Every structure is written in C-alpha cells, then in structure tokens.
Structure 1
Amino acid sequence: MTRKVILSALGLALIIGALFLAKHLIDSKNKPKPVVPKVVKTVLVDTVKNTTIPVVISANGNLMAKERVELYSEVQGIFRSGSKLFKAGQKYNSGETLIRLDASEYYASVQSAKSNLYNSIAAIMPDLRLDFPEVYPKWQAYLNNFDLKNNTPELPEMSGEKENYFITGRGIISAYYNVKNLEQRLAKYRIAAPFTGILTEALVTEGTLVRSGQKLGEFINPSVYEMQVAVSKSYADVIKEGAKVELSNLEKTKNYQGVVARVNGSIDPTTQTITAFVDVKHEDLKEGMYLEANLNAENVDDAIEIDRNLLLDSQEIYVVKDSLLDVIPVKPAHFSDRTVVLKDIPNGTVILRKPVPGAYAGMQVKAATTDNAE
C-alpha cells in the first residue's frame, strides 16, 4: 500500500514538473527579440568643382649619352702608350689623342712617296722654264714650300689645257693623289677625341697588337643625356618637340628638368606606341641611370581627377544624395597609375573621396569632409 502511494506521488510530481517546463518554454519563445541598433557609416566626401586638368603621361627608361662614339681601328699596329692611360673612366678633351698605334713603318713609305713626288716635279722644272715660262714661277714656289715633315700641299691650279696635259703626262697628278691617299691612311694610326668626354669602355691595353676592324672601346659626352620613352599612339598628336618634361629617380629624392628633343614619325606596329626622346642635363646623371618621366600632354577642360579605386567597372561612381548612396554614369578622359580624369560631372555633386567597403546604392551614410569627423 505504501509503495503505491509513493509511486503515485512521484508520477504526479513528474506531470506537474512537465507542465511547468512546457509553460516556461512557451513563454520564452514569445519574448520579443532585442532590437539591433542600425549602424550608419561615416564616409569622406568631396564636392565637385570642375576645372582644367593637365594630362600628364608617365613613362620610364634608361639614360643614354646623346653623343657617343664606338671606337674601331681601321689599321693594324702596336698600341703605343700616351700621356693618359686608356682606361674606362678616363677623361679626354676635344682633339686629344685617345689611341696612337705604331706607324713608323707606314710613315716611312709615306715619306718615300712624298719624296718621289718632289723629285718628279723637280725633274720637269727645266722643261717648264723653256716651254711654259708663264707658269714656271708658281711651280717653283710650290717646290720651295714643299716640306716632307708636313702634309703635302695642294698642287697649283692649272692655267690651261697645255699645262694640264704636260703635268698629267709626267705622272705628277697620279703621284700627288697617291701621296694624299697614303697620308689619309697614316692619320688613322691616331684616333683623337671628337668632343670633350669620358671613356666608358676600354677593350685594349697599351702594347697589344690592334687589328684592322677591331673594336677598341666607347667614348661618350657626359654633359647631355637622352631617354627613350614609349607612349600610347593616342598621344601622337599632342607630344611635341620642345615640351617640358619632369623627371625623377626611383627613390623620388631628386628631380630633373628635361625637354622633348625628337618624336619618332612612325608607330610601333607591335605595341602601338610612339617613341619620344627626352634630353636632360645634370651633373648627377650617369649613363644607364633609370628615371621616371612625366610628360605634359594636354589639358582637359571641365573635368575632375579622382582615385581610380572610386571608378566602378560599370563606368559609374558613387554620389551622396540625402544621406543615401547613389550611382551616376561618368566619362573617363584619361587614366594614370593611380587616378582617373572624369568629364561633365555637374558642379556641386557630392562624391566619395575614399572607397567604402560593402557600398551599394541606397546605403544610408553620414557625410564627412575630414578624416577626424565622427
């Protein structure tokens, strides 16, 4: 009997507990959800004010000396030492000897030919005195001024056909030009600096045998450099000779002034670019230095310049209207690495200054003009 009472009491307690648990679950389910406060993003904005935007084309390249000479030997001989060592970095003044080859053997043959010419003219002097007394004085003066140590002087001008036939028939003319030809070749044993500059490459040393056609080195003028840059063909009609160019090194620590010296008249069919050559002068510049150039191409009227990240793929930008984001179509006029130039956006339009993550048309925002705004 007692056992039945205990079991009945336990069953009744379980039933009552289940009822209370069910009521608690129903009450908790009907509780209102907490209201999450709506977050309004603060965005940086600018007000459009159209102006004239200068279009600057960015390009880069390496400097090359505008005046450079590759030195080659046209004759063969032993490289003789001079007043300066033929080494890279050596400076020479205009007209100063760069290379001198041993020409003693060839010089002797030149002197022999000059002596033969002198003797040939001297041999005809008695005939000239008898047959052509009127031209004898000028030929006598020519012999008097003939110096084997100096270059052969030009022959006297012929006064008539008889004199010409007489001189030519004695082999004087052919002997003269043979001597001049030898003298021209003798001059090639010495290579002089064509301008004041510096030797950038030396491929031979004193005492070595230099052969005809052998490259000897390179010589440049370090006072003027030029940089070759390639720009889009769309700027072919705006890149002009004489245009000013701003140049800088990669570290952006030094700036230089340049000018467009030449513009190629043809477009590269592979890259569809046109080549411009920029001249630049500065004592800090060296051949091979890498520079960045900004060329002033044209001016775009009634335009603004914004960050490229603000331009959507659909050629639209975000604007702020009544605290809501909206989009408007735009017309890009020029792209650079970081910015884009846009035309025909109405003055007074409020646009974003910085991109907003997760932005969409209709998004509620709070406009601010400074980074410190809350």
Structure 2
Amino acid sequence: MRKIILSGLGILFIVVSFFIAKKLIDEKNKPKPVKEKVVKTVLIDTVANGTVQIIIPANGSLVAKRRLEIYAEVQGLFKSSKTLFKPGQIYSKGQTLVRIDASEHYASVQSEKSNLYNDIAAIMPDLRLDFPEVFQKWQNYLTGFDLNKTTPQLPEITSDKENYFITGRGIISRYYNVKNLEQRLSKYNIYAPFSGILTEALITEGTLVRSGQKLGEFIDTSVYEMEVALNENYANLVKVGEEVALTNLDKTQTYTGKVSRVNGSVDATTQTITAYIDVTDSNLKEGIYLEANLNAKQEQDAIEIDRNLLSESNEIFIVRDSLLDLIKAKPVYFSDTKVVLKNVPNGTIILKKPVPGAYAGMLVKPFKGTDKTGNK
C-alpha cells in the first residue's frame, strides 16, 4: 500500500512539472508589448517684445516725518492746564504743551526791568542839559516802558558822545541782562510748533522738572515717512518725486506715496541705499508696516516671465516642431517671482508654465483650451 501511494505522488509530480515547464516556454516566446511614446501637454505663449515696467519691491514701517522730543531747559514744578499732558492727547499749533512754574524767575525779571527803568530815569536830567537833541527820544522810551510787557528795544544811538554817556551809565549792559532773563522766562512754557498728537509723556502734574530732563514726544500726524533699503544697483533708477504704490501686509488697503529723498551714500555693510517715501492718509498710524512697489525703470524690447522658467545657465525652453529646445536669453532684472528678459526673438513659442522633467528634444503638444488663470 505504501508503494502504491509513493508511486502515485511521483506520477502527479511529473505531470505538474510538465505543465509548469510548458507554461514557462509559452511565456518566453510571447512578444513584448511596445511602449507608447508619452507626449506631454504644455501651456505655451508667443513672445511679443515690448516695454516692461521694472518695479522694485521694498518694505518698512511708518514714522512721523516731523517729531518733537520735548526737553526742559529750566527747573520748576510742572503746572496743570486744561489739556492733560497724556499720550494720545491732540494739540493744535501754538497751544501750550508744558507749563513750568516760573513765579520766582518772573519776580527776578520784573526786578531787573525796574532797575533798568530807574537807571534810565536817573540820567534824564543830564540828557536834558548836555544832550538836548536826544532827550526827547529817551523821554518817549520811558513813556512807552511797561513792566508787564516785553522790554522794548533801546533808542538808536546816533553819536559817539551819546554812546559813551549811555554806556558809561551801565544802561546797555542792564538792558541786555533784562533781555537775557526774559529769554529764559520764555522757556518755562513750551508750545506746539505744529498740530499733532502727544505719543509719550514722562511727567505728571506736580512733577519737579529739572533742566535737561526729557518730558515727552510730540509728532505731526499729517505726514508719515517710510524708510526703505534698496540694492545699490537700483540707486540710479529711483528718482525723487516719483509716486509709489503702498499696501498693508494683508493687501486690503492701498495708499499712494511719493519719494521725498534718496540718500547719497551706500551703506558699506549691506551695500544698500536708503530712500524715503512720504505718505499722507488719516487712517495711518506711526509704526504700521507697509510694502512699497517703486516704479524704477522702463525696459524696452523685453518680456517678463516666471522666474522658474529660466535655468541657471540663463536658458529658456521653446517649442519647435512639437519638440522642446533651449535658447539663450539675457536677464536684466530679477524679482521674487518674475524675471525680465531680452534677446528673445518675437514670435518665439515659449513655455508658460514649467514642465517637470523637461529636456531638449522632449515631444510635447500645446494645450488647447483655458488654464486656471483664464489664459488661453
């Protein structure tokens, strides 16, 4: 029985081996399938050279063009006023920003003015006798002298004798001493040189202000300025007075600025040149970050394409007889996403979008229809 089972298994193995061998022989003789040539569909464009406006992108934050750092030149207590000295407070031109108690200094000014008046009055009898021709003008000066007003200028001295007499009595030195005290008295009140807003306040009512102490900052909100750094290669392209398109970071607001100044020197560290753009808008605030597009130059007989269509060897793909080919081009300006090219003949068919794995000699066919951007 055992021999019969072993014999049957052997016969079964031989039969299975025969069929497997036959199948392998049939598959070996079967012809291999011919691979079909893959023809990629590409977006194309036809070259039409023209004038390309080169736009230089830049960015920066706004600062007030007119800024006043308020410092004290005298000492005294800071006095309160109807308008609180607080950040965000609006002041008109000529309005008092800071009032420092000047009562002690005011008394000194009045005392010195009184001494000047007395000195002039003391020489009047001598003027009547010795210089009758100038007596009247000095008399008129005394008549118009008001202790509560600014000291008027002394009468014009017309002769050497008069000059020696007046100077010898100490009138000239007394007069300039009074004017010096009056000038210092004016420093106890600080007025707004322009309409604007207080952005920083370092003192409060009752603070003892010391000479040289910073009191705050005041800015003009009518005009802001943006400082941008440009590559020194573009220094000769940016002109004062050119309009500039500005946008916020979200691209939701647009503004129009104007180049007001261009620095005459190049930063030795960064090799950049600084340009300043003025912008006026009631919605702007100091510190807002904006992006600028400066119209730098118009390039003639040029085209603008996506930057990734230009190879590192300054070549671009063209379509010739349904095959890709490479030609040389001359780049004249690079932006983040675009490149401006010259020396590309009119009528040349170029790729509009890059093709993965593209090579010279690749078989392609133009796409017929409309792409996602709406271009045919």
Give TM-score scaled by structure 1 length: 0.95
Q: Is residue 195 from structure 1 mapped to residue 194 from structure 2 by the alignment?
A: yes
CA distance in 2, matches of 1:205, 1:14: 109
- In the alignment, which residue of structure 2 is the partner of 1:21? 20
Shift of 1:36: 3.8
Displacement, 1:368? 1.8
Partner of 1:111: 110
Task: Give the Cα separation in 2 of the matches to 1:6 and 1:209.
Answer: 121
- Residue 371 of structure 2 aligns with which residue? 371
Partner in structure 1 of residue 88 of structure 2: 89
> C-alpha distance in 2, partners of 1:282/1:4?
108
1:171-206 superposed Cα distances (whole Å, 9 cap, x missing partner): 000000000000000000000000111111111111
SS in 2 for 1:57: strand
Residue identity in the other structure for 1:70: E
Cα distance, 1:6 vs structure 2: 8.8
Query: How far does residue 71 in structure 1 lie from its aligned partner after superposition?
Result: 0.2
Percent identity, aligned pairs only, is 68
Residue in 2 that maps onto 1:136:
135
Query: How far apart in 2 are the matches of 1:259 and 1:16?
Result: 95
| Alpha-carbon shift at residue 280 of structure 1 (Å) | 0.8
In the superposition, the TM-score normalised over structure 2's length comes to: 0.95
Shift of 1:287: 0.8
* 1:318 shift after superposition: 1.2
Whole-angstrom CA distance in 2 between matches of 1:3 and 1:139: 159
Counterparts of 1:200-349 in structure 2, within 5 Å, are 200-349=199-348
| 1:38 to partner: Cα distance | 3.0
Cα distance, 1:12–1:282 mapped onto 2, change above 3 Å: closer
Q: Cα–Cα, structure 1 residues 181 and 26, in superposed 2: closer, same or farther, change >3 Å?
A: same
* SS state at 2:162 partner: helix
Question: In the TM superposition, what is the alpha-carbon distance from 1:12 to its structure 2 partner?
Answer: 6.2
> Is there any run of 5+ residues in structure 1 with no aligned partner, and where?
none
Which whole-Å deviations, capped at 9, do the CAs of 1:233-271 have from their partners, x for residues lacking one? 112222111111111111111111111111111111111
Distance 1:224 1:16, change over 3 A: closer
Distance 1:4 1:79, change over 3 A: closer
Instruction: Name the aligned partner's letter for residue 72 of structure 1.
Output: Y
Whole-angstrom distance in 2 between the partners of 1:357 and 1:101: 75
Say which SS state the counterpart of residue 267 (structure 1) adopts.
coil
Report SS of the residue matched to 2:43. strand
Q: CA deviation at 1:365?
A: 1.3
Aligned-partner Cα distance in 2 for 1:353–1:278: 36
Equivalent-residue separation in structure 2 for 1:216 and 1:264 (angstroms) = 31
1:42 Cα deviation from its structure 2 partner = 1.1
Report how far residue 329 of structure 1 moved. 1.3
Question: Residues of 2 paired with 1:298 and 1:193: CA distance?
Answer: 42
Q: Distance in 2 between matches of 1:304 and 1:79?
A: 66
Deviation (angstroms), 1:25: 1.2
CA-based RMSD: 2.0
Counterpart of 1:27, as a letter, is D
Q: What does residue 150 of structure 1 align with? A: 149
Q: Unaligned 5+ residue runs, structure 2? A: none
Report the alpha carbon displacement of residue 157 of structure 1 after superposing the two structures with TM: 0.5
Q: Which amino acid aligns with 1:39?
A: V
Secondary structure, in 3 states, of the residue corresponding to 1:219? strand
Q: Aligned to 1:53, what secondary structure does the other structure show?
A: strand
- Partner-residue secondary structure (3-state), 1:265: coil
Which residue is 2:69 aligned to?
Answer: 70
Task: Pick closer, same or farther for the CA change 1:139–1:368 going to 2, 3 Å.
Answer: same
> Counterpart amino acid of 1:38?
K
1:184 matched residue in structure 2? 183
Q: CA deviation at 1:321?
A: 1.2
Q: Provide the C-alpha distance between the structure 1 equivalents of 2:3 and 2:216, rounded to a whole number of angstroms.
A: 121
Q: Which moved more, 1:192-201 or 1:362-371?
A: 362-371
Residues paired across the two proteins, number = 373
